[in-house]
Each structure stands twice: as C-alpha cells, then as structure tokens.
Structure 1
C-alpha cells in the first residue's frame, strides 16, 4: 500500500475536481458564443492549457478559479469570433451554426422538453435554438459576448466590462442593441407540442410528396437555407416562398433514393434528420411561428454532422 511518504506517491491536486467541474459551464458558454461545438471545445481546451501553464503559486493566488476560467474562455472566444467572421465571409454557400443532437426522439411525447445533448455538455434552453443562434451570427463579437454573458449567464455589466475591455455603460448598450436584433428577427417560440406536431405533419407530407400539404404548413414567406460546406448538391442561396420551398423538398424526396427521415431533437427543439444507408446526411432545424413553419435550416456539411454520425438504436452518441 502506498503512503504519502513513499517514493513515487503523487499528491492529488485538491483543486483539480473543482477546476474540471467548470468544464460543462465553459462549453455551455463557448458554444453559444461561437455557434460551433468543435470550436467551443477547442476554446475550452486552450483555457485549461493556460490554467495549467501557470505555476502552483500563481494558481493559488487566484481567488476564484471558476471566474478566472470564464474570463479567459470568454476572451478566447471574443478573439476567435473576429477571425471566424473573416472565415465565414469566405465560406462556400450559407454558414449555419453547428446543430446539436438530442439523446432522445420526440416522436412518442409531444410535450417532452427535457432532452439533453449526447455528452450532457450543453444545457438546452431557448438560447441554443437555431433561430437564436442564427440571429447571434448577425451581431458583432462584442454585442454577442455582452448579450450571452449578461442575459444568458447572468453576469453583471461590471463583470462583462472586465471581460470585453469596455465600460459597464458600453456593455449595457451592446446588450441592448443585441436584444433589439433578437426581437426584430425572431418570432415567439412555439410551445414544444405545437412545434412537434407541425414538424411531424411536415415530415409526413414530405414523405408523401404532397405539395399542397407542404404549402399549407409553410408560412407564405418561408425560407429554406442549406449549409453544405461546399457540397455541389447543396444550394448556395436561400429558397424563398412557400411554393418554392415545398417544391424543393419534393424534388429532394424524388431524387434521394433510400432516404430515411427521422424525428430527432435538434438544438433542444423538434427537428428532422435525413439518413442514407444509416448515415446522417442532413439535419433540419425549424422555426415555427403560429401554426406555420417560417424558417428551415438544413445542415449538410459533413464537418458539422460529426456528433450525429454514431447513431445507435435511434440515439445519437
């Protein structure tokens, strides 16, 4: 039996558990700030690298390690957002945030609203639905960080100011501007039961290639946006208008032989997943306004579908 005095004994770091317990919160934050789970994980990894790059004395001098980690992660994300904006301007076609899978199907429970992502890494609420994340993409990095830190994670504007390097008053203005963008762009979130029922009806009409039924489920000004990451088969521009969108989906059903459409949770809301030969090829997220579908986001970029590619018995790993 090894005792503390014996050679080779490694004394456990009493702060390790507390430090690592912050990881989930940091992933929650970074995903919302970056719109990409892969980039969020990289940002959090860099945050921990900086923590463990310090000496023990430096670590012990930090009064609140959790606050330190959050500050560093936020600043890393702020820097990444600037470079990400330039990369996305060069992106082939439309850029859509990376969709998050849910563990469970929603087909059997129209009122279910308690799904979680595969590794329990991101808390699912309105701040990660696809419509909200798309609005975030229209904001400048400082607006995005101020809104997420204050409105979602409940940091004071004094704390936000320390992170983004601006005054509290400036951060208050940034968050206010961001809220106006959200209010102007988003329809009220439909209750889960209604959202699920409409998406289910859309799936059935799509499978039946029923143009009239699809048109009836779509808002007259509905849009469908595809992110293929350069795939030739993905549309480079949004499709607008209920008839055009309905015809698009019927065309997809007609040319994609062996396509299986599954009801799955996408970013905490009822969505659809298209599989071919058991492999996920497209993930669909929906914004429902009233009783009509207002927006459909179709993610086909294989790089963004990695969390969806290990489907076992209807559950994403």
Structure 2
C-alpha cells in the first residue's frame, strides 16, 4: 500500500474520534486528580442511592416532596455517570479519544439531564408553594396523578428539547485536529473546532438555553417570591421557622445549582471553561446529597430507623 493510501486511511480513522484534552496541562497531577474525582464520584453515587433507598423504604417519606427529591437524586446519579467515568478513564488511560457516536451520546445525555434537573427544581418549588400557601387544599391539589405527571414531565420535555442542539451540532463540519479542550463533549468546545457555526445553530442554542435553563429558573424564582412573601406575613416566629424549614434545603440546592450554571454558561469561553465546568458537573452534585440529608430531619430520622433495623 502506498504512503498516500496509509495516510488517507489514518486520517479517515482519526476523523471518527475526538480527543478530550481534559487536564493534560496538569500532567504531573493526573494520578492525584484521578483519586480525588474517584472519591467524589463514589461519594456522590452512594449518597444519591442512599437517598433513593431511604425514601423508598420509609413509608413516612412517601409524599410528593420526597418523591421529587428521589427523582432529583436519580437525575444526579445519571448526570454524574454520563461524565465522570469517562473523565476517570481519560486521566489514567493511554488514550484520550472518544468516539464520534460516544461524544454526541454524552452531549445529548448532559443536555437532557441538565435541563431535567432545572425543571425538577421548578416542580419542587411549585410543590413547596402549594404546601405553604394552600396547606388545607394541598392534598387535594397534589394528587397522586398530578405528582406522577409532574415527575415525568421534565424527562419527556428535556429529552425532546436536547435532541435539537444534538442533531444540529451533529450536522456541523469539523476542521483541523479534533481536540476538545474539555473533559466532556460540550457545546462550546465542539463549536470551537467547527469549520463554521450556521445561524440556525446559534438560534437553536439560544432556544435551548431559554427552554432548559432560563424558563425553569424564572418559574422557580416566581414561586419562591410567593413563598417568601407568605412566610414574611406569618406573625408567629415559630410559624415562620416551620414554614421556612420545609423549603430551606430545596432553596439551598436551587441557589447552588443555578449560581454554578450561570457562572459556567454566562462566562465567556476560554481556557478556564473546563475548570469552571468542574463546579457544575462534579462539585455541585457532590454537595446536594449532603444538603438533603444533613439539613433534613425527616431523612435523618428515617436513616436512623433503617440503621436500627439493619443492626
């Protein structure tokens, strides 16, 4: 076979893969980073699985609020599983490549799960708003049927929305070395190596951001304005504390989630992008299980009951 034939075959094979540079600029810390991210991943997985099992096994927690918390924990589990294992492999593996199909499968998963979490936070805010502002009618309004619909809705909606940027980004042509200066296949790095970004793609990105991030964020803010206004009008100090305690954990998670998302996606892209993305993709999912357990008396009580049964 001629040299030209070998080169052509090599280029064709290379074109099928992307190279995730991840943290190759910190080559001397690869093992340390691997151990840190592995510990975070295991902690996050165990924490979310524990939340789901505790809620499932304790009938006292079979309420809409805890059902939505378990769904959020499940989405966090899948979100971390779609990114971190590949990052761990990248840090200690001999190859940094990810297949073309694998790259866009990850892109679709991250886009879907990120949006799903945003809408689940909005659903949880709606649930808390009902519980605080309409306590006597809460059980009648938040029926089992409505609870199931609200739990499924974010997944169906975001599976549909995420297909648009995935399909349109998939149709772009990529020039030069397909090296993504990131640890995941995200929109920014993919657009950076594209020959050009069509106008329709830019519109799809704006639509996706408005649909998956901005809209649920505004909905969550509106519900919390209503909640806080109601709490401030409660005359009793004990009543205020009791009302606030029912939504404090969710408020902390929502604040942490949206603040990190805004930092990542509103900051101009650059070499620091992947480091900011670590906060949103790794650190925040690690913290959330602790917020829902350490600050939630019902979950702690259920955990102690389960521990007593097992011992």
TM-score (norm 2): 0.30
Q: Which has the higher helix share?
A: 2
Which protein has greater RCO, CA pairs closer than 8 Å, 6+ apart? 2
Structure with the larger strand share: 1
TM-score (norm 1): 0.29
